[in-house]
């Protein structure tokens, strides 16, 4: 598992991010060593001789336990683990048959937590999800019967098939980790992770998730078709005696890993970079992208800024580092921001999707260089990005069309 910020683009999954160019940074050298992390010499009390944190080795065991069952989907698996470490919820979107449900079930069994699957249907009621009060004639009292959401891992399968009132029933427990029934508060177990799946191609009997519901998910992961070689492996592996994941971590170890994420160091320049990415979706004209103003109806919320740092910290720990780099923020930005942006009717008319808008944003906002500055100026402001200019084509090549085909 690579832990150098220079080599991160090769260590990431092969699925490309919306932008083909990523900011090139160096590891922070001016930050003081933190307790329990690597010191300036590259070694510390909690660092292995190869420089990788022991927490990363634990996550690596969990990662390869998932790979015993799931073929391919490297980026999706890495993002699911990032949500687990960051304590956020994940929305999985793909066409049927791409192992969304199997991935969630495998993750739950590899961690050893309780698992509940809720199949969302149009006739589902909120009480079927969170629980209700039941009158017991034998005791002449009302008892609270908790719903299936009280589990460590909750799979909300085809969440867009349930009406809005059922989707809203998940808001409180997803955001506050609690449910109020009969005037009493019931806490969700720790750790608690909701992984929801939805099918984007169906329109009958489907209720699109409202913006407030989508914003509660830390990430939206879009899963694509496997490669021909991966599909051959799927048929060979899952045809007879499909493998099963063994428990690689305990719930206590997961809690310790989540606490380790909080200790990942974040330089202020990286934090400003994450905030600027979000601000660019609200006021693109301030970042030299006035043409995007007509395509963005609503930019990303402050939850996106919090999510970029939180998920970036988890990804940094997953990659064996005790500090956050702009590359980590860049890598998680598509999953953090794609479901928090609302495009205008003009974008729909011009055939512009959110991935194209994010590609513009990620390739334009400059990333900081975490290196000592000799002239005493600010190491962030005035820095330029190594990303290629938008819509740039190789010499002699035809520019790539965007939107309605206009270069």
pTM of the model: 0.74
Dist CA 203 CA 207 (whole Å): 8
pLDDT of residue 309: 95
Q: Which of 25-34, 226-235, 372-381, 385-394 has the highest mean pLDDT?
A: 226-235
Asked whether residue 114 carries a pLDDT value surpassing 50, the answer given is: yes
pLDDT of residue 52: 59
In 10 A of CB 159, how many CB atoms?
Answer: 24
What is the pLDDT averaged over residues 297-310? 92
pLDDT of residue 18: 43
What is the pLDDT averaged over residues 225-232? 90
Dist CA 366 CA 360 (whole Å): 12
For residues 172 and 42, the model is more confident at 172
pLDDT in tens, 307-333: 999 999 999 999 888 899 999 999 999
pLDDT of residue 372: 52
- pLDDT confidence bin for 399, thresholds 50/70/90: low
Q: Are 321 and 37 in contact (CB under 8 A)?
A: no
Strands (E), 225-312: 296-298
Asked whether residue 206 carries a pLDDT value surpassing 80, the answer given is: no
pLDDT of residue 398: 57
- pLDDT confidence bin for 305, thresholds 50/70/90: very high
Q: Which of these ranges, 23-37, 121-135, 243-257, 299-313, has the smallest mean pLDDT?
A: 23-37
Q: Hunting for tokens 């832990």 — which residue is that?
A: 3
Dist CA 365 CA 30 (whole Å): 23
- pLDDT confidence bin for 139, thresholds 50/70/90: confident
Asked whether residue 60 carries a pLDDT value surpassing 90, the answer given is: no
Asked whether residue 344 carries a pLDDT value surpassing 70, the answer given is: yes
pLDDT of residue 404: 54
Q: Both tokens of residue 134?
A: 């039941």
Q: Are 14 and 74 in contact (CB under 8 A)?
A: yes
For residues 367 and 32, the model is more confident at 367
Report the alpha-carbon angle 114-117-121, nearest 5: 160
Length of the chain: 407
Q: What are phi and psi of 349, to 5 degrees?
A: -70, -35
Arithmetic mean of pLDDT over the chain = 78
Q: How far is CA 143 from CA 140, 170, 365, in A?
A: 10, 21, 55
Dist CA 88 CA 388 (whole Å): 32
Q: Which of these ranges, 200-204, 219-223, 367-371, has the smallest mean pLDDT?
A: 200-204
For the chain, list the domains and their CATH numbers: 1-31+265-407 (1.10.8.80)
Asked whether residue 96 carries a pLDDT value surpassing 50, the answer given is: yes
pLDDT of residue 20: 39
What is the pLDDT averaged over residues 3-13? 39
pLDDT of residue 21: 43
For residues 80 and 166, the model is more confident at 80
């Amino acid at each position: 598992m690579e832990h150098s910020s220079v080599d991160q683009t090769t260590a990431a999954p092969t699925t490309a991010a919306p932008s083909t160019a990523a900011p090139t940074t160096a590891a922070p050298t001016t930050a003081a060593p933190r307790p329990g992390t690597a010191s300036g010499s590259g070694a510390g009390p909690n660092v292995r001789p190869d420089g990788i944190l022991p927490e990363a080795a634990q996550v690596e065991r969990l990662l390869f336990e998932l790979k015993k069952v799931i073929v391919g989907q490297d980026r999706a698996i890495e993002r699911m683990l990032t949500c687990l470490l960051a304590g956020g919820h994940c929305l999985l979107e793909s066409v049927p048959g791409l192992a969304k449900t199997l991935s969630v079930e495998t993750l739950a069994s590899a961690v050893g937590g309780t698992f509940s699957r809720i199949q969302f249907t149009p006739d589902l009621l909120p009480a079927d999800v969170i629980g209700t009060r039941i009158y017991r004639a034998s005791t002449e009292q009302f008892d609270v019967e908790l719903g299936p959401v009280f589990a460590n891992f909750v799979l909300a399968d085809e969440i867009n098939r349930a009406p809005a009132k059922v989707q809203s029933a998940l808001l409180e427990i997803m955001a506050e980790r609690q449910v109020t029934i009969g005037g009493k508060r019931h806490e969700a177990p720790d750790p608690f992770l909701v992984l929801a799946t939805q099918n984007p191609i169906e329109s009958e009997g489907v209720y699109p998730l409202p913006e407030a519901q989508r914003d509660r998910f830390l990430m939206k992961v879009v899963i694509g078709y496997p490669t021909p070689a991966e599909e051959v492996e799927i048929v060979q592996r899952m045809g007879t005696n499909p493998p099963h994941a063994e428990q690689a971590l305990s719930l206590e170890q997961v809690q310790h890993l989540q606490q380790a994420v909080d200790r990942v160091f974040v330089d202020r320049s990286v934090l400003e970079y994450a905030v600027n990415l979000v601000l660019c979706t609200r006021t693109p004209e301030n970042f030299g992208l006035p043409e995007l103003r007509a395509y963005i109806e609503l930019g990303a919320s402050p939850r996106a800024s919090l999510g970029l740092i939180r998920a970036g910290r988890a990804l940094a720990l997953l990659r064996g580092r005790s500090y956050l780099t702009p590359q980590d923020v860049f890598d998680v930005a598509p999953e953090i921001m794609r479901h928090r942006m609302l495009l205008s009717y003009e974008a729909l008319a011009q055939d512009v999707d959110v991935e194209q808008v994010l590609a513009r944003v990620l390739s334009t906002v400059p990333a900081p260089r975490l290196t000592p500055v000799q002239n005493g100026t600010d190491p962030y402001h005035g820095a330029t990005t190594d990303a290629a200019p938008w819509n740039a084509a190789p010499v002699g090549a035809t520019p790539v069309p965007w939107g309605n085909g206009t270069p």
